Amino acid sequence: MFKTFVAAAGVAGLLASASYAADISGAGATFPAPVYAKWAETYKASTGTGLNYQAIGSGGGIKQIKAKTVDFGASDKPLKPEDLASAGLYQFPTVVGGVVPVVNIPGINAGQIKLTGPLLAAIFYGQVKTWDDPVIAKANPGVKLPSMPITVVHRSDGSGTSFLFTSYLSMKSPAWASKVGASDSVNWPTGLGGKGNDGVSAFVKQTPGSIGYVEYAYAKQNKMAYVLVQNKNGKYPAPTAEDFAAAAAGAKWAQAPGNYLLLLDQPGANSWPITGATFILVYKNQDNAATGQSVLKFFDWAYKNGDGAAAQLDYVPLPLPVKNLIRKQWSQNVMSGGKPVYTGK
């Protein structure tokens, strides 16, 4: 059966469509789409096995795996253990990345504007309406800020990127937490909605005065200006793989039931404050052993061979002990006919 490999549009050179003989299908998060695309390309060349991944947003991925229309779902919003149990699902992380606020402000370059978490929340709530507002000017002495309206750009689809971003805003702003909250889909107080990280990127690029939020690979590939965000230590680190890794350094996966773990606002001078892992969802009891084996073989291959591609795209590979922990979970959690789908061979 022939399918078309689909990935999110807009990330130059990595996410173009191609016709593959695909016997693995997945759907969900646009956050990891660039690295999944690269992994799929290399895996196809080395094994002959293709991957059909549809980057439709985390909410869509969760819906599709629950409907059993794909072999795996992908989400940046981890499901809580009780939700996994009720759906008969198991989840595991693949890579770590960062969500960055991106802007299109005439005369402003990447990293030139600094924002605190509460100020970022006030902007996305619509309370701070112009770039030369005194509160922004106070946080950015010496920066020539234009007198122009702020246009907020947010996700229009159910999005794990939105979950991470709104969870961070809720941590930093009690007003945001009580009035908007943290979810993959919220009632945004203001702004324009774009579908996927690529949709938000496109809206920001074409809208002077705008601010949005995307996974860092999209900001880098689209050469977008980003703002620096104050972290828990009061510092303003750059959004880089090294600083995403700093935020993930203390992650205790072995102590996280159902691998439910958030990496937001972690301590450390170099920790990027809006960091998160992205996750794969599969059924614990596989209808088809061969399908389950194919999915886990792909991600086992990615764990072994995909770190270079992940690093090139500014994602953080999981440490080897974490990968081995996940492999052990595969043999204990993903079954077909009462037998483990993954044997480690």
- Side-chain-side CA neighbours of 125 within 13 Å: the count stands at 20
pLDDT of 23 above 90: no
Residue 67 exposed, middle or buried by CB count within 10 Å (0-12, 13-18, 19+): exposed
pLDDT of 7 above 50: no
* pLDDT one-digit tens code per residue, 80-91: 999 999 999 999
Apex 163 CA angle, 160 and 164, nearest 5:
95
pLDDT of 319 above 70: yes
For 124, list phi and psi in degrees, rounded to 5: -75, -20
Evaluate whether 3-97+257-261+276-340 and 99-250 have a shared fold: yes
Output the pLDDT for position 344.
83
Output the pLDDT for position 345.
62
Q: Write down the architecture of domain 3-97+257-261+276-340 according to CATH.
A: 3-Layer(aba) Sandwich (3.40)
pLDDT of 51 above 70: yes
The mean predicted confidence, pLDDT, of the chain is: 93
The ranges assigned to domains in the chain are 3-97+257-261+276-340, 99-250
Looking at the domain covering 99-250, what would its CATH class be? alpha beta
pLDDT of 148 above 90: yes
pTM of the model: 0.90
